[in-house]
Amino acid sequence: MKFGILVGVVVLAFSGLVTAVLVGNASVQDANTELRYLNEAEELVLQLDTRASELKVDGFKTIVRADPEAQLAELADDIATPEGMLAELATIPITGPAAESVAGLADSFRAYTDAISAWVDLAVVDPVTMRGRWEEIQAANDLTDGAVSEAKDVLASESDAAQVRLDDALAQAELIAIAAAVAGVLVIIGISVLTMRSVTRPVARVKTSLDALAKGDLTVVTGVTSRDEVGQMAASLDAAQANLRAVLASVSDSATAVAASSEELSA
């Protein structure tokens, strides 16, 4: 029974350690997922910033090309690419300030692409006149430049904060695992010591009683009262000693009676 308790304690300690590890890993996974989403969003916003610059280049190229109309196909590709990025950005499950910072990007970028498209259309028709209006390209870019810059700054800040949370989650998970392991080991050691003492002490008493029995002393009882295997063995030994004492007492009484009878007959 004692060893069964010890095995049960070991199983419980191991279960506690596994539970602590799972809880710690869950928090680490959540923090890691949050950081991954923020990094994905930040990467897309940085690419959008680059694409915004490419749209400006489309405008300038229109007024310097020999065939301005040839720029329209390149412009269409440069507009389709950020639209796909914005659609992908909308699917990333970010929350809080990060989500707020990217919420208006689609509208501001659409306003920019509409403005640059209208400017390029005019430049295709009359590139000479539009060369004098080249500053309008930057004005169109300004429609989204502020929103993109703000989103970059917010996402960078949120990513840094998420990295700190991930580092904290990793440290906490490690601490929980170590604490659970130490607690489990201490409990196992404590139960092992108690189990060992509960076995060795009764066994020592039984040995003392057996040694006395071997020397002819039937008066040394074990004094073990437990009901486990050792206790049952001790009880059997005590009973055997008691029976031997009773037999020897009976033999002694019989011998005394025979001696008394012999004396009477001799008289």
Both tokens of residue 60?
Answer: 């300038």
Q: How far apart are CA 56 and CA 69, in angstroms?
A: 16
Are residue 129 and residue 254 in the same domain, yes or no? no
> In CATH, what number is assigned to the domain containing residue 72?
1.20.120.1730
Q: How far apart are CA 205 and CA 238, in angstroms?
A: 11
**Nearest-5° Cα angle at 58, 92 to 48:** 15
Give a yes or no: residue 113 inside a domain: yes
Q: What is the mean pLDDT of the chain?
A: 82
Which of 250 and 46 is assigned the larger pLDDT? 46
Q: How many domains are there within the chain? A: 2
pLDDT at residue 14 in the model:
66
**pLDDT, tens digit (0-9, with 9 covering 90-100), for 83-103:** 999 999 999 998 899 998 888
**What's the domain range around 255?**
218-266
Give a yes or no: residue 158 inside a domain: yes
Last residue of a domain, one of 188, 207, 230: 188
* String of DSSP letters for 81-137: HHHHHHHHHHTS---HHHHHHHHTHHHHHHHHHHHHHHHHHHHHH-HHHHHTTTHHH
Give a yes or no: residue 224 inside a domain: yes
Q: What is the pTM of this model?
A: 0.62
**pLDDT, tens digit (0-9, with 9 covering 90-100), for 105-158:** 888 889 999 999 999 999 999 988 999 999 999 898 888 888 898 999 999 999
**Nearest-5° Cα angle at 219, 213 to 221:** 80
The end-to-end CA distance of the chain, in Å, is: 65
Which of 164 and 215 is assigned the larger pLDDT? 164
